[in-house]
């Protein structure tokens, strides 16, 4: 096992370096939370409250971080979360992100607010999923989903915690968005038309509708309650993503580290449970897996790495998560992802 320090690590230093090279409006948009930004500030700290009870006298001479997720074999359980407008961070935008994620052997969730076409992203990507909102104009949603499925998306990620979009605390306008007219129409960049707003009236039945429309499994992102998780599974969800939208929706929503165990208990082994929100180190990832998550997603750190190094920066970031996780697994006495369980946590 390589015990040398990783070349790129997530955290305040990476964000500060990215801030120095990004347009101010772009950095503010990416970093902002809503209202007082309490949820943003609490996210990372919540993972650090847990303590380990490591096993000893286990054979950890070889550690395997790979995982299978909805039919995709990945080098580690660290995925790139859906985040909007990557061309504000790098000229190649989501294409560079996809290439970096693929080089690291992981999976990207492409935002429906992307600044590159799904077909171009797919050409650079390994396995990828497509994030979708149900919009007031359901025909727009249908076209987006059908296009993503035709381009090779392996699953849909239905984001359900944004019936309305609140003002962000520090995000300013105008954003440095691309001026490609067809792209702007296809993903709603800069539009204020009512049809592009999220539909606040949707219920669990939309999960089955999207699955039938696309022929793809549908994961539901934005779940913080056990009863909502079971309702989604009952409605046909193929996975649950515990998320508070990076603190960008309802401020003071609970940190995902706090609610993950209750959602895992409610869902059981019926579908995989994933989690995002403030995971900055391989140690954080190990905590999440011990709490029952099948995989984690990281958002802002990917944007910072993209801004600093393009595809190579994204690959280096995800490689660093994998390397950190492998070492922490060895120190905890777990040689495989399947060997990580709640017994690794103290108390």
Of 166, 131, 165, nearest in space to 148 by CA: 131
Spatial separation of the C-alpha atoms in residues 94 and 311, rounded to whole Å: 9
Torsion angle of the four alpha carbons 42, 273, 127, 119, in this order, in degrees rounded to the nearest 10? -70
Of 21, 189, 10, nearest in space to 90 by CA: 21
Residue partners of 129: CB distance under 8 A and separation at least 6: 107, 108, 109, 110, 153, 154, 155, 156, 157, 219
Q: What letter would DSSP give residue 254?
A: P
Spatial separation of the C-alpha atoms in residues 197 and 240, rounded to whole Å: 23
Any catalytic annotation for residue 90?
A: no
Omega of the bond leading into 170 within 30 degrees of 0 (cis): no
Q: What is the DSSP string of 16-63?
A: HHHHHHS-HHHHHHHH--BTT-HHHHHHHHHHTT--B----S---SS-
Classify strands 239-242 and 218-223 as parallel, antiparallel or unpaired. parallel
SS3 assignment, position 316: helix
Q: What letter would DSSP give residue 336?
A: B
Spatial separation of the C-alpha atoms in residues 154 and 133, rounded to whole Å: 17
What are the residue numbers of the active site? Answer: 245
């Amino acid at each position: 096992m390589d015990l040398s320090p990783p070349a790129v690590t997530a955290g305040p230093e990476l964000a500060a370096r990215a801030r120095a090279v990004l347009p101010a409006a772009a950095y503010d948009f990416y970093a902002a939370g809503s209202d007082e930004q309490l949820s943003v500030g609490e996210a990372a700290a919540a993972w650090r409250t847990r303590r380990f009870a490591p096993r000893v006298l286990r054979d950890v001479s070889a550690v395997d971080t790979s995982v299978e997720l909805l039919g995709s074999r990945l080098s580690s359980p660290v995925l790139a979360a859906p985040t909007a407008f990557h061309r504000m961070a790098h000229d190649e935008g989501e294409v560079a992100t996809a290439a970096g994620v693929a080089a690291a052997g992981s999976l990207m969730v492409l935002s429906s607010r992307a600044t590159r076409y799904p077909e171009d992203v797919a050409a650079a990507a390994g396995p990828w999923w497509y994030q979708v909102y149900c919009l007031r104009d359901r025909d727009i949603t249908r076209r987006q989903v059908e296009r993503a499925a035709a381009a090779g998306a392996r699953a849909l990620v239905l984001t359900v915690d944004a019936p309305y979009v609140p003002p962000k605390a520090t995000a300013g306008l105008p954003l440095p968005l691309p001026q490609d007219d067809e792209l702007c129409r296809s993903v709603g960049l800069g539009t204020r038309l009512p049809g592009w707003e999220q539909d606040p009236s949707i219920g669990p039945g939309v999960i089955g509708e999207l699955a039938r429309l696309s022929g793809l499994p549908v994961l539901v992102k934005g779940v913080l309650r056990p009863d909502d998780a079971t309702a989604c599974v009952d409605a046909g969800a193929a996975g649950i993503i515990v998320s508070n939208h990076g603190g960008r929706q309802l401020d003071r929503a609970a940190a995902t580290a706090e609610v993950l165990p209750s959602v895992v208990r409610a869902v059981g082994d019926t579908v995989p449970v994933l989690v995002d929100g403030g995971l900055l180190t391989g140690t954080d990832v190990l905590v999440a897996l011990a709490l029952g998550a099948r995989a984690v997603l990281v958002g802002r750190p990917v944007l910072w790495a993209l801004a600093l190094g393009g595809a190579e920066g994204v690959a280096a970031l995800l490689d660093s998560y994998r390397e950190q996780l492998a070492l922490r697994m060895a120190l905890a006495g777990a040689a495989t992802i399947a060997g990580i369980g709640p017994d690794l946590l103290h108390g």
